[in-house]
Structure 1
């Protein structure tokens, strides 16, 4: 998944913190590829290292309170607290800075190049299901029929869940609709592909 490019695209909209970027990513993709905050933070560090983003001068400063127990003198003046009644609770306020990130000129160029470059088959990565079945049909002792049936049931369940999620989206959520439409079309295509494999194996046995 092109997490790096997606975060750059979000920063093209406006500067944002790691938490804001996670929320925007999840919302844009209808939470079908949810990111954890660790992934976002690690990717931002790499983008900063590569000169694609920088911290905004006006990063958010958040006040955090820390409660501290301090000892006071006891009744004899020894300087040591002898009971909870002789200790004091002090609350100290400390400022913490939340980094807000923005694109550099190099980052803006990288996003522009991403928009203008088509995605190739190699960039999509290896399809585990394709590899699994390719090896299954050529490996003695593998129950290919059962494997295909298990995969078919899983895909049908996925198709049901995604279709239900799509129906719940408002027409104004263009990004969410296109993401879920892709999942629906891809799942339907995989189901047809499994049917084709079954037909081909059946003809090979005749």
Structure 2
């Protein structure tokens, strides 16, 4: 395949959930070629360069399939950042921020569920698995939003001197020692 074909194939397999910039596809192909994981072929009928996986590349792909996705650093999560900042910023109604987000998350959950139902059991396996992942993630997000709201309420009730929704940082000396 060439970069355009890889971009199209990626978007088909992922339901275009994560649109891929064609420039990124070609940059990645160049890096893979430099690392001898792919090689250019002369199989192209037109002027576009096609690539195929080398033996070394096939071994790397097999190793990738056989290894877990490590979660050593959490992915950057805009919602977590937003709520953390809201909870620590004076004058921000954290409960309102949570309610607005919960409404949006519920809307997306209904949309993902609708898409899954429309596809039925005959839907493409990759699309069905992706939708189920999005459904599970959105359900977890809604549960977390409920937790955030309950925590903010509890914190404001236990700390009347603190403004509602204001969470103070625990000093290092106040933390319990690690075991």
1:42: Cα distance to partner? Answer: 2.0
Unaligned runs of 5+ in 2: 158-179
Change (3 A) 1:29 1:123: farther
Aligned to 2:53: 103
1:174 and 2:159 matched: no
The separation in 1 between residues aligned to 2:73 and 2:139, in whole angstroms, is 22
2:151 pairs with 1:197: no
Shift of 1:104: 1.4
Instruction: Name the one with the larger strand percent.
Output: 1
Judge which range, 35-44 or 181-190, deviates more: 35-44
SS of the counterpart of 1:177? helix
More relative contact order, 1 or 2 (CA 8 Å, 6+ apart): 1
- Determine the C-alpha separation between the residues in 1 that align with 2:107 and 2:88: 28
In structure 1, the residue matched to 2:112 is 162
The answer as to 2:118 corresponding to 1:133 is no
Gap change, CA 1:167 and 1:145, over 3 Å in 2: same
Is the CA contact (8 Å cut-off) linking 1:60 and 1:100 kept in structure 2? Answer: no
What's the offset of the Cα at 1:123? 6.0
2:21 to 10, 14, 36: 36
TM-score in terms of structure 1 length: 0.69
Indicate which of 32, 40, 50 corresponds to 1:47.
Answer: 32
**Between Structure 1 and Structure 2, whose CA radius of gyration is higher?**
1
1:47-126 pair list within 5 angstroms: 47-61=32-46, 97-122=47-72, 125-126=75-76
- Return the offset for 1:136: 2.0
Contact in 2 for aligned 1:22/1:40 (Cα 8 Å): yes
TM-score norm. by structure 2 comes to 0.78
In structure 2, do the counterparts of structure 1 residues 37 and 168 end up closer, same or farther at CA, with 3 Å as the change threshold? farther
**What is the CA-CA distance between 1:125 and the residue it aligns to?**
2.1
Q: Secondary structure of 2:52's partner?
A: strand
Gaps of 5+ in 1: 1-15, 62-96
Please give the secondary structure, in 2, of the residue aligned with 1:121: coil
Instruction: Please list the CA deviations of residues 121-159 of structure 1 after superposition, one character each: whole Å capped at 9, or x if unmatched.
Output: 236622222222223212222221222122112212211
Query: Match for residue 153 of structure 1?
Result: 103
Shift of 1:115: 0.6
Q: Which residue of 2 is the match for residue 87 of structure 1?
A: none
Q: State the number of aligned residues.
A: 156
CA contact (8 A) 2:94 2:152 kept: no
